[in-house]
Amino acid sequence: MPVHIRSLGLQPYENTWQAMQNFTSERSDETDDQIWLVTHPPVFTQGLNGDAKHLLGPAHQNNIPIIQTDRGGQVTYHGPGQAVVYLLLDLKRAKIGVRDLVSRMENTIIDYLSTLNIDASARKEAPGVYVNGDKIASLGLKIRKQRTYHGLALNLEMDMSPFHWITPCGLEGIQMTQVADQLEDTTAVPDMDTCLTELSQILLTHLEPEISG
């Protein structure tokens, strides 16, 4: 069954979240899987079991909304210049486990970064992708009746200041980084559309043959 890739551009986080919930609630066993490519205006999102202590003082003082969402994980930040890929998949139909899916998502980002000559890796104890110990991409999923939504966020070229106002993903001592800070030539940073397109194509190769592209 084909996967439909939707390029949504810059979209408010809450609207997109609601649309993902609606899609997942209304889909049937015959509904095609979808991958949504998007960027968001500045927003902090707190995971389902997120601890408020990870929202530091400045997070409440800079007029950036804080949204309690239903994905896994702790608090993170979304903003312009961050590539976001949402996976709306039927895991039962594909016979893919959650841990396996997380690994495929991480490997997608690692493979994409390798095309930019950035050496990245994953950590079993802390989902996401890291470069020289700094976190460059975050993951968060919601599974409802073996169907997924939410996904991954790769820091491409953005204002990183808001990450200093939280404990990103609840990981004490972890610094956040972005693609722009890992390239010697900042003019080599891909534009957002190119980044999202290439990420989605690599993701499809990691989902095949279980999920047909």
149 is in an annotated binding site: no
d(CA 83, CA 192): 7
Per-residue burial over 26-54, b if 16 or more Cβ lie within 10 Å, else e, is ebeeebebbbbbbbbebbbbbbeebeeeb
Catalytic residue from among 169, 176, 202, 203: 169
154 is in an annotated binding site: no
73 is in an annotated binding site: yes
d(CA 155, CA 106): 14
146 is in an annotated binding site: no
Nearest to 206 by CA among 155, 152, 156: 152
75 is in an annotated binding site: yes
Active site residue 169: yes
69 is in an annotated binding site: no
203 is in an annotated binding site: no
Q: Residue 33 pairs with which residues in a beta bridge?
A: 3
76 is in an annotated binding site: yes
140 is in an annotated binding site: yes
Which residue carries 């205006």 as its tokens? Answer: 41
Count of CB atoms situated within 10 Å of the CB of 158: 21
Residue 120 near residue 109, CB atoms below 8 Å: yes
Residue 108 near residue 202, CB atoms below 8 Å: yes
72 is in an annotated binding site: yes
138 is in an annotated binding site: yes
| Active site residues per annotation | 169
Binding-site annotation, residues = 71-78, 138-140, 151-153
Binding-site annotation, residues for substrate = 71-78, 138-140, 151-153
